[in-house]
């Protein structure tokens, strides 16, 4: 609060110095700081911006510009926050409508707020939709069933009959998208009515549906991000008694598997996945594993990254279009995982460094070149290209055409030296330079 020397003794302890006020302001703006509640008077309006603030309790008459500034403190976009909550103790509804008419382009038309009971109606509707999608699966023990119930529900959703078709008129597996869309709408509605007793009574069911959605949609298993709370904020918002704890809902936990050393994808783990009773969820798990591994292991190998991404996309597309069934897609994904493992470990077999393998792959994309040249010759070219490009690449070479031209000539000279087929040289040169570009950043660090 603002103050002066004439203030009563009762108020003086609450009138802080400028330095203290700045410190408190900084603390309040930090979502991780334990300072969660402040009482202000005639402060923190003009220019104050704290997106994480979500609730304002009003017991002071306000109108016009001051009122608009006040409620704007809680309507800023922040992570999963769906809207701000204004708890009105004094009755500012009419003043708010007048202020909206004066200070917004809507001129008083439309609704400045969302009624909590309307949000509750939407929440109940979406909960009913999600319950209907789980028809045929017994989730009545969701409060005590733990991860096995979550896994069963997710598996059921993945196996739902198609309701949409692709451009060729073939049915497409769309259960996951339909469930995720409805669960997202459920979460948004719940966040706007969670203070109502009717909503609180259903928070466990909301938590369960949101947890199933997380299992169905969470990506990037190989490199867990510490900011997963953004996806699970709706669960954590469901205070005491929620089904799901603060920890990340993980697909491995759900199906009862130990998270593997992802770099290995060994036969024992692949066999475990293959034999999971939740067949649809097993396909989803293996797809995500492979997708993450391709990005992780082959991020700087453009040939292998494209090869395995295309293979994975082809298999999953056929599965989504119901051209192949679950058993067949599992077989193909397991085989792909084995091929991936072999490809990732070829360096030791070829006697090449990781960077040399990348250029070797770029040279070996053309089968006729592989037939005309021996494997040893390709390895020599890869070694020489790696050595020369590493020496000559500069930080900004990709943006400087003169430098690129020089490197292009150098690559051509090396290819001619080893009699790389002339009709294939231009394509090989461009692919080699593309590969060099993906490695440039790591080489310059």
SS3 letters across 400-414: CHHHHHHHHHHHHHH
Residues 6+ apart with CB under 8 A from 155: 278, 279, 280, 281
Closest CA to 338 of 383, 397, 293: 293
Residues 6+ apart with CB under 8 A from 321: 166, 170, 171, 172, 173
Residue 207 CA to residue 230 CA, distance in Å, equals: 15
Residue 382 CA to residue 379 CA, distance in Å, equals: 5
DSSP secondary structure letter of residue 162: P
| CA atoms within 13 A of residue 299's CA, in its CB half-sphere | 9
Find out whether 113 and 56 touch, Cβ atoms under 8 Å.
no
Closest CA to 152 of 54, 53, 251, 8: 251
With 0-12 / 13-18 / 19 or more C-beta atoms within 10 angstroms meaning exposed / middle / buried, residue 396 is exposed
Closest CA to 101 of 156, 147, 146, 63: 63
| DSSP assignments along 194-222, one per residue | TTSHHHHTTHHHHHHHHHHHHHHH----S
One digit per residue, the tens of pLDDT, for the chain of length 445 reads: 667 767 788 877 777 777 888 888 888 888 888 888 988 877 777 667 888 888 888 888 877 777 777 777 777 777 766 677 878 777 777 777 777 666 555 454 545 555 678 888 989 999 999 999 999 999 888 888 777 788 889 889 988 888 777 677 777 778 888 999 999 889 888 877 887 889 889 988 998 998 888 888 865 444 444 344 443 343 333 322 333 333 334 555 555 555 444 444 567 777 777 777 777 777 777 777 778 778 777 878 888 888 888 888 888 888 777 777 777 888 888 888 888 888 888 888 888 888 888 888 888 887 777 777 888 888 898 888 888 888 877 656 656 677 778 888 888 888 888 888 777 778 888 888 888 877 766 665 5
């Amino acid at each position: 609060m603002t103050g002066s020397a004439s203030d009563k003794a009762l108020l003086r302890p609450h009138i802080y110095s400028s330095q203290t006020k700045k410190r408190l302001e900084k603390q309040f703006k930090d979502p991780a700081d334990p300072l969660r509640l402040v009482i202000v008077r005639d402060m923190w309006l003009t220019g104050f911006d704290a997106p994480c603030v979500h609730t304002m309790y009003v017991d002071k008459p306000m109108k016009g510009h001051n009122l608009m500034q006040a409620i704007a403190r809680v309507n800023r976009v922040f992570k999963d926050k769906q809207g701000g909550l204004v708890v009105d103790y004094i009755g500012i509804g009419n003043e708010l409508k007048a202020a909206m008419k004066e200070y917004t382009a809507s001129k008083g038309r439309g609704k400045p707020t969302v009624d909590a009971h309307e949000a509750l109606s939407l929440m109940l509707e979406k909960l009913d939709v999600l319950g209907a999608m789980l028809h045929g699966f017994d989730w009545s023990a969701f409060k005590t069933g733990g991860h096995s119930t979550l896994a069963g529900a997710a598996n059921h959703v993945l196996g739902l009959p198609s309701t949409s078709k692709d451009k060729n008129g073939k049915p497409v597996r769309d259960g996951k998208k339909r469930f995720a869309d409805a669960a997202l709408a459920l979460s948004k509605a719940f966040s706007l009515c969670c203070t109502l007793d009717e909503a609180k009574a259903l928070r466990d069911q909301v938590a369960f549906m949101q947890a199933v959605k997380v299992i169905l949609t969470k990506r990037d298993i190989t490199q867990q991000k510490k900011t997963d709370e953004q996806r699970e904020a709706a669960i954590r918002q469901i205070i005491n008694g929620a089904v799901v704890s603060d920890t990340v809902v993980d697909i491995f936990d759900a199906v009862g598997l130990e998270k593997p050393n992802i770099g290995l994808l060994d036969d024992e783990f692949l066999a475990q996945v293959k034999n999971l009773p939740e067949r649809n969820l097993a396909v989803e798990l293996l797809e995500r594993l492979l997708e993450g591994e391709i990005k992780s292991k082959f991020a700087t190998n453009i040939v292998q990254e494209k090869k395995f991404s295309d293979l994975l996309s082809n298999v999953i597309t056929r599965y989504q279009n119901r051209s192949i069934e679950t058993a067949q897609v599992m077989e193909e994904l397991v085989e792909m995982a084995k091929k991936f493992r072999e490809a990732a470990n070829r360096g030791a077999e070829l006697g090449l460094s990781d960077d040399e393998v990348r250029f070797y792959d770029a040279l070996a994309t053309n089968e006729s070149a592989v037939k005309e040249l021996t494997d040893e010759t390709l390895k020599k070219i890869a070694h020489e290209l790696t050595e020369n490009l590493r020496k000559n690449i500069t930080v900004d070479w990709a943006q400087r055409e003169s430098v690129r031209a020089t490197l292009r000539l150098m690559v051509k000279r090396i290819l001619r030296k080893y009699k790389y087929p002339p009709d294939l040289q231009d394509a090989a040169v461009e692919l080699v330079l593309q590969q060099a570009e993906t490695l440039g950043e790591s080489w310059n660090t």
